[in-house]
Copies of this chain bind each other. A is one copy, B any other.
Amino acid sequence: MNNFEYYNPVNIVFGKGQIKKLKDLIPRGEKILITYGGGSIKRNGVYDQVIEALSDHDFIEFGGIEANPQYETLMSACELAKKEQISFLLAVGGGSVIDGTKFIAVAMHHSDDPWKILSQRQSIQGATPLGSVLTLPATGSEMNTGSVVSRGKEKLGCFGDPRMYPKFSILDPEVTYSLPERQLGNGIVDSYVHVLEQYLTKDVNSPLQDRMAESILKTLIEEGPKVIHVKDDYASRANFMWCATMALNGLIGSGVIHDWATHMIGHEITAFHGVDHGRTLALVMPSLLRVQKEKKQNKLLQYADRVWNLSNGTPDERIEQAIILTEDFFNSLGVPTKLRAYNIKEEDINTIVESVRSHIPVNLGENGDIDGEKIKTILMQAL
């Protein structure tokens, strides 16, 4: 196991009926900005629950944060927050709203152009405290420090400053009942790939982290179909929601080697073709595993054995079968694994490759061996 530091002070408040605890989670006297997205929270009752819980608090609202939150939108929210002397941000939404709100929180304190936090990796200078009410399990943003923001064709992330942790996140599985199948499928794939990015890498003798990663994968495989096909099933929604959070809260990634190439390539597919984030991962990951199967062999065989119970055949056959089962799982959730599903063609690939390379000038992957050529191969094989 590698040396690591693990610090995650997010207060997770999990279960049905928990939104009312907002009343006590945010100190009285704070001036709150409630942020949200396109307004689905006004149709599914979440907004009403939040407003009722905060009836004795002082708050204003900022709606309209997009999927892949846009820098310009977030800067408008930042200006409003500064003008109104906001002291606490409450994100009510999925990963985009929470990511965006984290960016608002740090932009409020940045003396230089806040875009440089992303484009030049400038250190943050401060952060307004924030909390979240999660409505879409997927990104893990509710229990980590990550934030990914888009500007034109650029989709960039900043990660790692503990001031960006939410003070609390409320996870009520019932708020997911109104989500469309597409978003649920995206969320399950997103969570699953978060785990693979931290698990299917180089072996550093980390049996507990490995088994915990496999625990999330197996639970997603078991619960995913129920999430998609069984209406208003509390148990499967709760189990999925907790898997999504645990997939990217730092724990399974502590002391092990990470990949993240799939995410880096996927971000560009979103930027150029507008494909939902989770769906880009289903396009890239299986193909990447095939291209990298020699370097990832040990872990892929472990994955084939422990997650998919594959014990027959040559190592190569077992690995291929595990990748096929992974694709089948994604497809069964309504999430395609080929670029043609989005009409992305061979001639589009170079632009994606060049954009990855321009944003991350070093090679990707846990071995630092995914160069432009390899990204191209991965995408060509995903056509």
Contacts and interface: CB of A to CB of B under 8 A. Distances in A.
Q: Bin the interface of chain A by size.
A: 35 or more
A239 B1 CA distance: 8
A235 interface: yes
Interface stretch (A5-13, A100-108, A319-327): A5-13
Interface stretch (A62-70, A203-211, A271-279): A203-211
A5 B13 contact: yes
Interface in A97-145: none
Contacts of A222: 207
A246 to B, nearest CB: 7
A15 B12 CA distance: 27
B207 A239 contact: yes
A5 B9 contact: no
Contacts of A11: 5-7
A372 B17 CA distance: 38
Interface string A211-252: 110111011001100000000000100110011001000010
A255 interface: yes
Number of this chain's copies in the assembly equals 2
A127 to B, nearest CB: 16
A312 interface: no
B14 A6 contact: yes
A16 interface: yes
A209 B205 CA distance: 22
Contacts of A208: 215-216, 219, 239, 242-243, 246
A16 B339 CA distance: 45
Nearest to A172: B3
Contacts of A55: none
B1 A12 contact: no
A381 interface: no
Given A208-B215, A216-B208, A235-B205, A9 B9 contact: yes
A243 B1 CA distance: 12
Interface string A12-41: 111111100000000000000000000000
A12 B7 contact: yes
A201 to B, nearest CB: 17
A73 interface: no
A6 B12 contact: yes
Given A242-B255, A251-B251, 13 more contacts: A3-B17, A5-B11, A7-B12, A8-B9, A9-B9, A15-B255, A205-B238, A205-B239, A207-B223, A207-B239, A208-B239, A211-B211, A214-B215
12 contacts: A3-B18, A4-B14, A7-B9, A7-B11, A8-B8, A8-B9, A15-B255, A205-B238, A205-B239, A211-B218, A211-B219, A212-B212
